[in-house]
Amino acid sequence: MTAGTKGLPIRVDGLTKAFGPVEAVSDVSFTAAAGRVTGFVGPNGAGKSTTLRMLLGLTRADRGTALIGDTPYAELAAPTATVGAVLDIASAHPATTARGHLRTFGDLGGHPRSRVEAVIAAVGLGAYADRQVKGFSTGMRQRLGLATALLGDPAVLVLDEPSNGLDPAGIVWLRGFLRKFAAAGGTVLISSHVLTELQYSIDDLILINRGRIGWTGSLAEFTQHGETLEDAFLALTAKEQLT
């Protein structure tokens, strides 16, 4: 992470998006602070992916703003050196190797070749770096996606379901990785359904339900609603389904 890009919060304000009659995201506001890991949780169809896509300029908002620091993603001077994002499992060309894929994306982003070796080591892909991606397991693809996101040494990480497909050692590794990233001043926004795992990974929590923010704050405050993150989540979302 470069000194100039440290300490960039994510600031979302009044974000709104409808797909025809479906109000996918309604007036969503939150901040994900630098130096902290923020979980973004909600039931299926709650609006998590749509929010993350708007944050990254992949879906146009009907209303509201989503800023990285003070700048919308689309206006960042060096987007891949500012935000690393993994929204889908890596879709590399099947015949390329992990190292080849990373070299292509590193060159496209204008990042030095030394970053390729650095990110291979960072995500533990060394043993597979010269294998063709077509033989990769889901967990290996997740690691490759994360490695691609890290090529620009970004200050901000946005991850949609990153532990999907990771083995137990991979999950523990990811948790440690995110903690270290945040401890160095990075901002992490991570969506996940694996609440038992998330409980050990996050500092803060944003709960979205039916397109609206249901709760934001620290994990410690949230779990006052139940013994575990899962209990508190189920208690709060069940209450909302009745309203």
Ligand X SMILES: Nc1ncnc2c1ncn2[C@@H]1O[C@H](COP(=O)(O)OP(=O)(O)OP(=O)(O)O)[C@@H](O)[C@H]1O
Q: Which stretch binds ligand X (CB under 6 A): 41-49, 81-89, 168-176, 180-188?
A: 41-49
Q: Looking at this protein, which amino acid is placed at residue 29?
A: S
Query: Encoding tokens for residue 219?
Result: 């994990």
200 touches ligand X (CB under 6 A): no
How would you classify the pairing of strands 156-160 and 187-191?
parallel
Closest distance of CB 116 from ligand X, Å: 31
Inter-residue contact 44 to 197 (CB < 8 Å): no
4 touches ligand X (CB under 6 A): no
Q: How far apart are CA 17 and CA 66, in angstroms?
A: 12
The single residue among 4, 19, 117, 121 that binds ligand X, judged by CB under 6 A, is 19
Neighbours of 37 (CB within 10 A): 26
Indicate the burial class of 87 (C-beta count within 10 angstroms; 0-12, 13-18, 19 or more).
middle
195 touches ligand X (CB under 6 A): no
Q: How far apart are CA 83 and CA 131, in angstroms?
A: 27
47 touches ligand X (CB under 6 A): yes
Q: Which stretch binds ligand X (CB under 6 A): 7-15, 17-25, 123-131, 168-176?
A: 17-25
Sheet containing 22-32, strands listed edge to edge, beginning at the edge strand earlier in sequence:
22-32, 10-19, 63-68
Q: Which is nearer to ligand X, 24 or 102 (CB)?
A: 24
42 touches ligand X (CB under 6 A): yes
Closest distance of CB 34 from ligand X, Å: 24
Query: Encoding tokens for residue 209?
Result: 């339900």
Q: How far apart are CA 115 and CA 147, in angstroms?
A: 10
Query: Encoding tokens for residue 196?
Result: 């038992």
Q: How far apart are CA 220 and CA 212, in angstroms?
A: 22
192 touches ligand X (CB under 6 A): no
* Contact map string, positions 80 to 119, toward ligand X, x by CB under 6 A: ----------------------------------------
Q: Which is nearer to ligand X, 22 or 184 (CB)?
A: 22
For 131, residues 6+ apart whose C-beta sits below 8 A from its C-beta are: 97, 98
Q: Which is nearer to ligand X, 59 or 97 (CB)?
A: 59
45 touches ligand X (CB under 6 A): yes
235 touches ligand X (CB under 6 A): no
Closest distance of CB 15 from ligand X, Å: 11
Q: Greatest CA span in the chain, whole angstroms? A: 54
Q: Which is nearer to ligand X, 33 or 87 (CB)?
A: 87
Closest distance of CB 58 from ligand X, Å: 11
22 touches ligand X (CB under 6 A): yes
Task: List contacts with ligand X (CB under 6 A).
Answer: 19, 22, 24, 42, 44-50
